[in-house]
């Protein structure tokens, strides 16, 4: 991990960003789904029977960094989430979408991502 930290930034994007490296093909990952703006992968530490991350292809640090210019990317993320929920059999039963922002919320990778959770009745959070 230290080697990754030394790599620095490329074009304003942290070169050690795991999600950016996945999108670039530097880190192999099985994509559940993908569109022009985002891709979806299964979480390696699931909190529900279905736990999928919807990740924008463009590096956005977190929800605090969202600007008006990100509107199309965000729409693409939500459309992809809807399609993934349908393909996973969650569209009728229901599912949760929620952004984590910062370490106190449990955000472990500093790249915006939208967790999709379902497959069981989900209790209240927080």
Is 113 an active-site residue? yes
* HSE, side-chain direction, 13 A CA sphere, residue 89: 4
Active-site residue identified among 23, 37, 111, 113: 113
Active site residues: 113
């Amino acid at each position: 991990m230290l080697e990754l930290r030394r790599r620095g930034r490329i074009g304003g994007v942290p070169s050690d960003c795991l999600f950016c490296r996945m999108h670039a093909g530097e880190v192999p990952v099985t994509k559940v789904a993908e569109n022009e703006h985002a891709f979806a992968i299964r979480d390696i530490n699931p909190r529900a029977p279905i736990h999928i991350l919807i990740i924008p292809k463009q590096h956005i640090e977190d929800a605090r960094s969202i600007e008006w210019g990100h509107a199309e990317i965000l729409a693409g993320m939500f459309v992809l989430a809807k399609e993934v929920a349908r393909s996973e059999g969650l569209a009728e039963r229901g599912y949760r979408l929620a952004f984590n922002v910062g370490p106190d919320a449990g955000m472990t990778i500093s790249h915006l991502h939208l967790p999709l959770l379902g497959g069981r009745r989900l209790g209240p959070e927080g």
